[in-house]
Structure 1
Amino acid sequence: MKQRVKTDTSVRNRLRRFPEDDVLLLNYNDKYDKHRRKSSNLPIPSAYMMFLLILIVAVFMAVIVIEKKLPPGLKISEEELYPNRFIAERAMVNLINLTKFGPRVAGSYENEVLAVKYLVDEIKNVIAKSNKNLHFIEYNVQRSSGAFPLHFLDGMTNVYRDVQNVVVKVSPIKGSNSSLLLNCHFDTVTDSPGASDDGAACAVMLELLRIFSQSNIPLRHNIILLFNGAEENIMQASHGFITQHKWAKEVKAFINLEACGAGGREMLFQANSKNPWILEIYSKNAPYPYGSSLAQEIFESGLIPGDTDYRIFRDFGNVSGLDFVWSKNGYVYHTLFDDVYQVPVGSLQRTGDNIQALVLGIVNGHQLSDMSLYSSGGLVYFDFLGAFVVHWSEFIANIINASVLLLSLYSIYQNMLLASNEISQSRYIKLLLGSAFTHFITWILVLIVVLLIGISLTLLGRTMSWFTRPFWLLFLYVGPTICVAFSTVLFASRKYQKNIKSPWTKFQLYYDGNLLIFNFALLVGIIFRIRSAFIPLIWVIFPTVCNLLQGPIFKTNRDWKWLVYQMLALSLPFIQSFYLTLGAFYLFIPIMGRSGAGNNSELMIAAMIGLIFVGLFSYLTPFITLIRNPERVFSLLIGMFLISISLLILTPLGFPYSGDPNSPSPQRFMIVNTNRTYYDLSGNVRGGDTGYWVVDLDINSPNTVNNFVPEMKNAKPVDLDCELELYCGLPYLLPVRHFIWKTHWIPGPAPNLPIPTTFDYNKIDLENDIIRYQINVTGPDHICVMISPLPNIDLLEWSLVDGQPLASGELWKGRPTYFIYYAYVANPVPLTFDIDFKVPKKYNILKPVMDIAVTSHYLHGKNQRSNIFSEFLQQFPQWTAITAWTASYASYRV
C-alpha cells in the first residue's frame, strides 16, 4: 500500500506539469477518491451487518422466551410445603368442574342453576374450613333488575331483569367500613365453554378465597369477591351489583379479572389515574408485573372491539381500580375451543400469585380508610421485561420528557461543534435537517411498500398467511421494511452528502437526524399529554446519553469498540420496544380473525408491521453508510422475501387456519337461522323471507368453505337490504354496524320459533306537540329493539332511563337510530316502556312517527338450533369455529 500511494503521488506531480491536462487530473482524482472511499473510509465489512441482523433475530428469540416464561404450578400435594400459597392445581380443579356444564349463557339452566349451585357449594365449603377467630365470612345470591345507557360499540341502552350475582365478603372480626372488590364473571357467550373467558378468573378467585379465609394473619379491611353472572350480557350483573347491592357503597377500590385470550401472562391494561397508589402497591408487591399505559391507550382508543366490567365500576360506581386481562392465544376467545386444555397451569399460578400479593397489599394498607388523601392526576406506567414496573404521575412525566428533550437538543449541538473542523455549522444544520427529512420519507416509503405487498397478496387471494404462523411476518414485511429503510438512507447519503470525507460524520448526521424525529414525537406527547410518550422518551434518552459520553470516552477515535458502544447504548430501548411490540402482536393478530370482513386485515397488519419495525430499526439504518459492500445485505433481504412469497403462493404453508385441538387458529363465522318479516302501515306483511344470515368475521369469508358447504355458493351480499330496512333487516344482537357491515344472506329453511315475539303499542297525543308511545314487547330471554324517528321528528325521552336517550352511532337514511338490548334470566318479563317524540306543529296523530324493528334471539337450550340447522352446520370443516343461534326480525312503521 505504501508503494501504491507513492506511485500515485508521483503521477499527480507529473500531471501538474502540464496545465492542458487539468481535465485528466480531475478525472483521475475522482476515480482515486471513489476507490479510497471504498477501501479505507468504510470500515465495516458487509458480513458485520449480516452478523448484526442475526444478532437482532437472536435478541427477538430471547425476548420471546422471556415473555413465554411461566412459574411452575403448585400441586395440592405440595400445600404443606407452601403454606398460605396459591395452589394452581386446586384452581384447575375448580375450572374443570365449572366448565363441565358447557356454555353458560345468561338465562340458561347451566348458568342460572348449575353454575350458581357449584359456586355456592364451594363457598360453603370454604366457610366451613375458615379461621373463624380472625375472619368473618358471609355470602348471598343477588338478583337485580335495571337499565343504563352504555357508550359501547355503536351505543346502546341496556335493560335487564333478574340477573344473578354470587357475592362473598371476607371481613376482619373487628370490622371495617372499607372494602376491596375482586370481580370475575362465570357466564359465557353462545357455544363457548368459557374456560379462559372468564371461568379461569373465577377459579382463581375461589382459590384466593380459601387462602384469605384460612390465613392466620388478620385483615385490616374487607375483601368482597363478586362472581357475576351476566357480563357477556353486556355487563349487566356488575351494574346490578355496583348500583344496588347492600355492600356496594363500602367498595373503595376494585380489581377486575378478564380474558380475551387463553393463558399467558395477565396484563394490567387499565389503571384509574385518580388513585395511582393502587399501581404503586402492584409494582411493589406483584412478583411478576406486566402492563403499560400504552395498552390502556390502545384499548381506550376503540381499536379493540370490546369492553369489561371495569367501565361499569368506574362510570356507575365512581370507583378506582385495576383491570387485568389474559391476551395471549386470542384464537380461542369466544369459540368452542376455549376449553380447559387451552389454559396452562402456569398461567393460573402466575395470576394467583400476583393477585394474592396485590389484594393483601391493598387491604392491609391504610389507603382504603380515606381515599381522598391519596388522589392525584394521570399516570404513566410500564414494566421492564416483567421484572419491575416504572411509574410516575403525568406531572412528573412532563418534567422528565421536557428535560430529556432539551438535553437531547444540546447533545446534537455538541456533535455539530465536533464536526465543525470538517463542516461549517450552517451547513451542518442543513444536512441534519435533510437527514431527519430522509428518515421521515423512509417511514412513508416503508408504508407504501408494505401496503403494496399487502394489496398484491389480497389480489392473489393469499391473505392472512401469518394468522396461524406469525413468523411469516418476518419475511413478508419486516425484511422489506429493513431493505427500504437501508436503501433510502444509503441513496440519500451518496447523493446529498457525497462531499463529506468522513463516513463517521455521515453516520452521525443520520443518527442525530433520527434523534430529531423522536424528539418531535416526544414533543407531541408532551403537548397532547399522551401517556405512552414513554416510548419516544426511551428512544431519546439513551441515544442522548450515548452522544454526550462518546466524546470524552473515544475523543476522535472510531473503531469496532465505538460500534459496540453504540449498539450497547441502543440495546435497552430496542429490547424494551420489541417487548412491547410482542405483546401487541399477541393481542392484535388473533383479533384480525374477528375484525369483520369489511376490514382488510392484511393491510392493517402490513401497516402495523411496517410502522413499528421502521421505528425499531431507525437507529440501525445509519450503519448502512459505513458498510463496504451493502449490496450483499440487500441481496440477502430480497432473497428471503422472494423465497417466502413463493412458498406462500405455491404451497399449503400459506393456508391461514388450523383446527389442531392443541393449537387451534380457526376461521370464525356467526350464522343465524332467521325469519324476517316486514309490515306496512296497515299492519299487513309487505315482505320477508327465511334463511341463514352469515356474519363474515375476516377478509377471507365466506368463500373459503365453498367446497365443504355447497349452500355457501348461494350467499349474497346484504347491501341493498341495508339501504331499505332498519339495521339491514337483520337480527343484530349488538349495535356493531360500524365494523360488522359486510355480511351475506343465504335463502334457507324457516327456523323453529316456539316462543312468539309480539309487539304492541298505544299511541297518545300529549300537549306541546308531543306524541307518546306505550310499548310492550314479549319474546324469548334475549330481545333487541331498534328505533329510528322519521324526518323532522325528535326522540325526546323514554322511561327506560333518565335523561336524553343515547343515540347509536349508526345512521340510517341520514336519520339517528336507537338500540335497546333487553334480557331476562328467570320468568318471562315483557319489555315495557314509554317513549315521547317531538313532532311538527299540527301533526296528524294518525301519521307514523318512527320505524321500529324487534328481534328475538334463542341463544341457548333446545331452541337454539333446529335439526336442519344443525345438519347445515356440521358440513363446516374442523378448522372453523361457528357461533350459531336462531332469531327473528320484524319491522314496523308506526
Structure 2
Amino acid sequence: MNDRHMKNGRGIRHRSKGSNISYLPEFHGVSQRDRKYLLPTPTSHLLTLLCFLVALSVTIIVLEKKLPTPLLLKDAHNHPGQFIAERAMYNLIKLTGLGPRPTGSYENEVLAVKFFVKEISEIMQNAQKVHRIIMDIQKPSGAFPLTFLDGMTNVYRNVQNVVVKIGPHSDTGHSLLINCHFDTVSDSPGGSDDGASCAIMLEILKVISQTVTPLKHNIILLFNGAEENLMQASHGFITQHEWAKEVRSFINLEACGAGGKEILFQAGPNHPWIMETYSAVVPYPYASSLAQEIFQSGIIPGDTDFRIFRDFGNISGLDFAWSTNGYVYHTKFDNVEQIPLGTLQRTGDNILALALGMANGKELSNVQMYSAGNIVFFDFLGAYVFRWSEFLSLLINLSLVMLSVYSVVKNMRAGISSGLKREVYLKQLGLSCGVVLLTWIFTPLISLMIAFALTVLDRTMSWYSQPAWIFFLYICPTLLVPMATVWIASQRQKAVVRSVWSLFQIYYDSYQLVWTGILIFCTLMKVRSGFIAVLWTVFPSVGSLLRSTLFSHWRDWKWLVLHGSILILPFAQCIYLIFGAMNLYIPIMGRVGAGNNPEVIVAVITSLMFLLLFSFLTPLILLVRNPQRILSVLIGLFLAAMGVLILTPLGFPYSGDPAAPSPQRFMMAHTQRVYHDEYGRVRERQTGYWIVDMDQNSPGSVKSLVREMQYARPVDSDCSQELYCGLPYLMPVLTFIWKTHWIPGPAPNIPVPTTLDLISTQYHDGLVRRMTFSITGPDHIGVMISPYSGVTLIGWSLVPGDPLQGPKWNGRDTYFIYYSCASDPKPWVFWIDLKGNSGVNQSIDIAVTSHFIHGQHQRNDQFSQFLAEFPQWTSLTAWTATYSSWKF
C-alpha cells in the first residue's frame, strides 16, 4: 500500500465520491481507535442476528400452520353464503365410514354412489329457484396411453362418475369444471385423498344453491370414481360426456397429505386470466410456479386428473393439493382425525370464492381471447400473490441484471478509489467468485459424505418422524462449511486486501454476481421459478446502493441492522418456501422405494436449499474478531447430534402414534407365479409373499419382529429371466421400485382364475401377424408384452396410433397394459399386430397378472396372520395376486 495511506500504524479514513467503504478503516483491528468499527464479539452482534433469523424462521413456521377459525352449524344462520366447515366434516365422516373404496368394490360402485346421489338430491330439493341443477350418473368405458412412471396403456370398463351441473335457467353453454375423486387405494379410508375434497365440493354446491343470485355461467361438479386407477374416470368424462364440450376451465382438488393448506401447484397451460382471478378473489393464497415446475419435472412420483383435462380435453385450469402430513397418504391412517376443521374451512373459503369468481367472470364466455401467455406467480407469506407475464418477467430480469452489475461496478470503483488497483480488485473479485462456487460444490459433497456415513452405520432416516434432526445433521454443516472455506481463503487474500471490510464487500459482490448469473440462466431457459433469483438479486443490489449513498456513516450494530434488514424479506420468503418443500419431501422419503437412498436425497436437497439461503450470511464470518468460536459451536452441535444418533435409540425413524403417525410402509402381495414354456406347459410354479420395499430400511427393520421376514431373499436374477421380474406389478413402476424381496410361502386362495386364450392368428401384408386374445379374471388385470428381437409391435385394438413403449428388457421393447372393470365383467378381447420373423414359431413373451385388491378374497387367513405380526408403526397395503407368463 502507498505510504500516504499510513500514519503511525493507524488506518486513515479516505473519503471519495461514490465510495461505499470510504468510512471504513484500512487495517483490521490495528488500533483501539479502529476497534469501534468491528463487531465486538462473535457471541453478540453476529449471534444476535443469527438468533433473530432463527426466531423469524420459527415465526414463519407457526404462521404457516395457522388456519382460519372454522364455521360451525350453529353459525350458519349468521353467515349466509359462506362455507360451513362442520357441515362438510359431517359429509366426510359419512363417506369415510363406508371404508376403503377401490374401483370395482361394492363400497365404491354402490354405497359411495348412493351417498352422493342422496346428498345431491337433498341439495336440489332445497335449492333457490333461480338455479337450474341437473345430476347425471355416467358409466364410461375407454382406453388411452399414459406416459406416467414406466408408461402404460390404460383400459377401463364401466367406471362411474356422479356429475352435477348448476347454473342459470338460460344455459350459456360455458362451464367451469370442479373435480374430486371418491375412490381410494386399497386399505385406506381416503379421508384426505380425496374424500375431503368431495365433501368440500358438496358444501360448495349447497352454499351456491342457497344464494338468490343466479350464476353467470354453469359450474359442473365431477365426483369421479376411478382416479386411483390412474385417472380413468376423468378421462371417461372429458372424452365422452355430453357436458364436457362446454367446459372452458377447471379446478382440480387433490391431496398428497392431510390437513394444512392447499397449495396451488399447477396452473395453465397459458390462460393467465385464471391466475389473475385466483389472485384477486381467494382470501388465503398459497401458490408457486416453483411447485409447478418441480411437480411437472417428474421428481415427485405422482400425477393427478389435471393431466387428463389438459391433455385430452385441451383445457387450462388449476390444480390444488394438500401436502402437509404426507405420512398418512395412501395408508390406513388417512382418516377424518387427521383433517382439522380449519383446513376444511380454509380450502372451502378459497375454492368457493374462486369458483364464483371464475363462473361469474367475463373470461369464461370467450377463453380464447384471454389465452395467450404463461405467468410467473408466487404468494408472499400467504398474504399476497405476485404474478407477472413471461414478457414482463423478461423485462424485470434484464433490468435487475443491469442494476446488479451497476452496483458491483460502483463498489469496484470505490475499492479502486481506496487504493486497490483495478486489476487487483478484479482478480480478487474473480477469486472470491471461485471460492463461492467451490463452496456450492463442496458443501453438498460434505452432506453426501455424512449421508453415506449414516448409511454405513445403519442410522438413516432419523429425520423422518423427527425433522429437527435435519438441523443438526445437514443445516449446521451447510452453514459451517461455506463460512470456514471463506474464512480460510480470506487469510491469503488479506495479504492483498488489507481491510476485512473491503474483503467483505468483495465477497458480498461475489455472491451477488453468482445469483445474477443464476438469474440470467433462468431468463434464457424461461424458468419461471427464477423469481427466487430475482429476490436474491434485487435486495442485495439495492442494499449495496443504500449503504454507499444514504447510510455510509453507520457503524457497528447499526450497520448490522441495515445488513439484516436488507436480507429479511428474501430470507423470510425463502424460508417460507423451504419449509413448504420440506413438509412435502420428507414424508415422500417413506415411499421412494428401497432402490433409492432417502438419506442421500434429503442430504443433497437440504444442503442445496440452505446453501442458497445462507448466501449473504456467509461473508459475515470475515467481520468477527473470533470466527473460530462460531465455527466451533457449529462443529460441536453437529458432533453432539452424531453421537446421540449413533449411541442412543433417539433416532428411530418411525412412529405409530395415531395422533401423529409416521409409519414405515410395506406393500405385499400373496402371490402365485406360473411360468409356461414355448409348448404351453408349466415349467415352474411358485407361491409365497412378494414384499415391495418402500424405503431403504425394509425389510431389515422388522426381521426381528416378523418371523417370516427372516426368510426374505432379494429378487435379482428373476428380473433378467422373466418379464417384469416375474412379479405381479399392479402398476408399471419397475424403474422406480425395483428392489423387492420374495418369501416362499403357502398358496393363496384364487377364487377367480385368470385365463389367457389365443383366439386366432391371421397374417396380412406379408410379414404382419395379427393375434387375437381373450382374457378373463378379476376386476384388476395387468398385461405385459415383449416382442422377440426382430419382431415389432406395430399396432393393436386398444388405442389408435403407435403403442406406448415401456422400459427395455434384455434389449427388447416392452408394453404394459393396465385394465380394470368396475362392474358387469365379461371376457376382455383385443388384438395385436406383429411385424417380422414370420418363420419363427415364437414372436412374443406375454405375462398376465391379476389383483384382488378388495373384498373377502383380498387376503386369506394365513396371509392375515402373517400381517398381524407387523408392529404398530408400520402401514401395510396387502392383496392377493397372480402372475402367469406364456410364449407365443
Maintained 8 Å contact 1:44/1:626: no
Please point out which of 342, 345, 352 is paired with 2:341.
Answer: 345
* Aligned partner of residue 591 in structure 2, secondary structure: coil
Q: Does 2:428 correspond to 1:431? A: yes
Q: 1:37 to 1:714 in 2, by over 3 A?
A: farther
Cα offset, 1:424, TM superposition: 1.5
Please point out which of 577, 595, 614 is paired with 1:598.
Answer: 595
* Separation of aligned partners in 2, 1:446 and 1:466: 20
* Counterpart residue number, 2:778: 780
Q: Deviations over 1:224-268 (max 9, x none)?
A: 000000000100000000000010000000000000000100000
* Aligned partner of residue 634 in structure 1, secondary structure: helix
Q: Deviations over 1:414-452 (max 9, x none)?
A: 011111122122211111111111111111111111111
* Counterpart residue number, 1:892: 886
Please point out which of 179, 185, 189 is paired with 2:181.
Answer: 185
Q: 1:9 to 1:550 in 2, by over 3 A?
A: closer
* Counterpart residue number, 2:106: 109
What is the one-letter code of the residue matched to 2:379? D
Report the TM-score when normalising by structure 1.
0.95
* Aligned partner of residue 686 in structure 1, secondary structure: strand
Q: Does 2:854 correspond to 1:860? A: yes
Please point out which of 494, 504, 518 is paired with 1:521.
Answer: 518
Maintained 8 Å contact 1:273/1:376: no
* Aligned partner of residue 382 in structure 1, secondary structure: strand
Q: 1:496 to 1:836 in 2, by over 3 A?
A: same
Please point out which of 723, 736, 742 is paired with 1:726.
Answer: 723
* Counterpart residue number, 2:867: 873
Q: 1:646 to 1:33 in 2, by over 3 A?
A: closer
* Aligned partner of residue 83 in structure 2, secondary structure: coil
Cα offset, 1:558, TM superposition: 4.0
Maintained 8 Å contact 1:577/1:616: yes
* Aligned partner of residue 256 in structure 1, secondary structure: strand
What is the one-letter code of the residue matched to 2:117? V
Q: 1:49 to 1:559 in 2, by over 3 A?
A: closer
Maintained 8 Å contact 1:716/1:745: yes
Cα offset, 1:560, TM superposition: 2.3
What is the one-letter code of the residue matched to 1:710? R
Maintained 8 Å contact 2:38/2:556: no
Q: Does 2:363 correspond to 1:367? A: yes
Q: 1:291 to 1:37 in 2, by over 3 A?
A: farther
Q: Deviations over 1:510-568 (max 9, x none)?
A: 00000011011111101111010101111001111111222111236543222211110
* Counterpart residue number, 2:13: none
* Counterpart residue number, 2:787: 789
Q: Deviations over 1:283-320 (max 9, x none)?
A: 01000000100000000110111100000000000011
Cα offset, 1:834, TM superposition: 1.0
Q: What RMSD over aligned residues (CA atoms) do the two structures have, in Å?
A: 1.7
Taking the TM superposition and a 5 Å limit, the aligned residue runs for 1:153-552 are 153-420=149-416, 421-552=418-549
* Counterpart residue number, 1:16: none
Q: 1:155 to 1:38 in 2, by over 3 A?
A: farther
Maintained 8 Å contact 2:851/2:882: yes
* Separation of aligned partners in 2, 1:188 and 1:486: 49
* Aligned partner of residue 436 in structure 1, secondary structure: helix
* Counterpart residue number, 1:19: none
* Separation of aligned partners in 2, 1:376 and 1:231: 30
Cα offset, 1:789, TM superposition: 0.6
* Counterpart residue number, 1:22: none
What is the one-letter code of the residue matched to 2:848? V
Q: Deviations over 1:387-418 (max 9, x none)?
A: 01111111111111111011100110001111
* Aligned partner of residue 468 in structure 1, secondary structure: coil
* Counterpart residue number, 1:26: none
Give structure 1 stretches of 5+ with no counterpart: 1-5, 11-30
* Separation of aligned partners in 1, 2:563 and 2:706: 58
* Aligned partner of residue 765 in structure 1, secondary structure: strand
* Counterpart residue number, 1:28: none
* Counterpart residue number, 2:643: 646
* Aligned partner of residue 860 in structure 1, secondary structure: coil
Q: Does 2:64 correspond to 1:67? A: yes
Cα offset, 1:763, TM superposition: 1.8
Q: Does 2:751 correspond to 1:745? A: no
Maintained 8 Å contact 2:37/2:556: no
* Separation of aligned partners in 1, 2:279 and 2:7: 69
* Separation of aligned partners in 2, 1:185 and 1:623: 52
* Separation of aligned partners in 2, 1:231 and 1:32: 66
Maintained 8 Å contact 2:133/2:165: yes
Q: 1:178 to 1:7 in 2, by over 3 A?
A: closer
* Counterpart residue number, 2:684: 687
Maintained 8 Å contact 1:446/1:610: yes
* Separation of aligned partners in 1, 2:513 and 2:593: 38
Maintained 8 Å contact 2:37/2:555: no
Please point out which of 617, 620, 630 is paired with 2:617.
Answer: 620
What is the one-letter code of the residue matched to 1:891? S
Q: Deviations over 1:62-109 (max 9, x none)?
A: 110111010011000111111110000000000000000110000000
- In the alignment of these two chains, the number of paired residues is 865
Deviates more, 1:879-888 or 1:485-494: 485-494
* Separation of aligned partners in 2, 1:489 and 1:546: 21
Maintained 8 Å contact 2:101/2:108: yes
* Separation of aligned partners in 2, 1:549 and 1:130: 61
* Separation of aligned partners in 2, 1:623 and 1:715: 54
Taking the TM superposition and a 5 Å limit, the aligned residue runs for 1:33-52 are 42-47=38-43, 48-52=45-49
4+ long deviations beyond 6 Å: 6-10, 31-38
Q: 1:594 to 1:37 in 2, by over 3 A?
A: farther
* Aligned partner of residue 144 in structure 1, secondary structure: coil
Deviates more, 1:443-452 or 1:162-171: 443-452
Q: Deviations over 1:17-73 (max 9, x none)?
A: xxxxxxxxxxxxxx9987889967643420122222222211110110111010011
Q: Deviations over 1:304-354 (max 9, x none)?
A: 111000000000000110000000000000000000000111000000000
Cα offset, 1:499, TM superposition: 3.1
Deviates more, 1:420-429 or 1:607-616: 420-429
* Separation of aligned partners in 1, 2:258 and 2:456: 33
Please point out which of 804, 807, 816 is paired with 1:806.
Answer: 804
* Counterpart residue number, 1:20: none
Maintained 8 Å contact 2:39/2:46: no
What is the one-letter code of the residue matched to 1:378? N
Cα offset, 1:767, TM superposition: 2.1
What is the one-letter code of the residue matched to 1:648? L
Cα offset, 1:816, TM superposition: 1.3
